[in-house]
Chains A and B, each alone.
Chain A
Amino acid sequence: MADRSDPLSDASNEALLVLFANGDRGAAETLTLRLTPKVMGHAYRLLGHRAEAEDVTQEAMLRLWQQAPNWRQGEAQVTTWLYRVVANLCTDRLRRGARSAPLEAAGDPADDRAEPAQNMQEAARAEALQVALNALPERQRQAVVLRHIEELGNPEIAEIMQISIEAVESLVARGKRALSASLRDQSEELGYSE
């Protein structure tokens, strides 16, 4: 989605946020196009519900815009801050019990861009994974998603979740064991094997 001719496309998120605070409209657009897919993807993985993930995405981005004038350079990466905000917003929603049943959520279309013929099995696997993720405790789910879907390193995950690296490793290991057991149960039904 990013425009290669955009002169801001090479700027860091932090620099763009400063430009945004100074009134640069182009910075808002570049940041939106760059960050929204990440935020949306993470919110969807944590909530398992597309409409609610969109609400969380809009709210997280709004908080980023509001934070821009007070952003302190060098303290945290924008993405780290955003992942933390998304996690907190998702946790609030899950605790309020506002979302629909997770299994209903698993039926949401995962990708508007997907080509059905090519991606049917991938979509089935992704959907099975989402069902299994929905069944995990919140912190395990967040750690597994950050580690294995967002592909972040343990130190950054520790910073996002505000826990030690050892705690991240423990959460990921326990989450993967639970996921594996859950997916094994589903694999025969989905018609694929290792």
Chain B
Amino acid sequence: MTHDKDTKRDPEGSFLETHFEAARQTASAPGNDLVQRILADANKVQSALAVHPEAPIQTGPRGVMAFLQALGGWPAAASLSSAAAVGLWIGIAPPDVLTLVAQDLLPTQVEDGDDATAGGGFDFFEEML
């Protein structure tokens, strides 16, 4: 018995063990009808395997799974999704610090009051008309 130690330590153990033992002794046996149904299922599956022996064997992933595998699996797909979400967020609501960095880095800047640069294009079009 695998529960002897438990029974000795736990005063409730022997009380419960009599019930567990009773359950083991009066196990719910499968009827002959059930056994016949299970064997009939087994025969059907075996017959199908004999006709299509290669059918249950998967040769490789298809569809979405194949695409995910090409990307590098779930970890790569998760990283790609995260990067895309962050990019979208920056595009919709860029943080202030990003604007400051962009102003420092971009070569074409517009100074307030610089008419030659700011209005040049407009004057050109007026002359053309």
Contacts and interface: CB of A to CB of B under 8 A. Distances in A.
Interface of A: 20-21, 23, 25, 28-29, 31-33, 36-37, 40-41, 44-45, 50, 53-54, 57-58, 61-62, 65-66, 68-70, 110-114, 119, 121-123, 125-126, 128-130, 148-149, 151, 153, 176, 179-180, 183-184, 194
Contacts of A153: 2
A155 to B, nearest CB: 13
A110 B41 contact: no
B38 A125 contact: no
A53 B15 CA distance: 27
Contacts of B24: 149, 151
B80 interface: no
B2 A151 contact: yes
Contacts of A70: 56-58
Contact of A61 (B20, B29, B41, B58): B41
B45 A180 contact: no
Contact of A130 (B21, B23, B39, B45): B23
DSSP class of A's interface residues: helix, strand, loop or mixed?
helix
DSSP class of B's interface residues: helix, strand, loop or mixed?
helix
B22 interface: yes
Contact of A25 (B28, B46, B56): B46
Interface residues of B, number: 37
A122 B22 contact: yes
Nearest to A183: B19
Contacts of B50: 23
8 contacts: A36-B35, A36-B38, A70-B58, A148-B17, A151-B3, A180-B16, A183-B16, A194-B14
Nearest to A123: B26
Contacts of B20: 129, 148-149
Contacts of A180: 12, 15-16
B43 interface: yes
A129 B18 CA distance: 10
B34 A57 contact: yes
Contact of B16 (A31, A44, A112, A176): A176
A62 B43 CA distance: 10
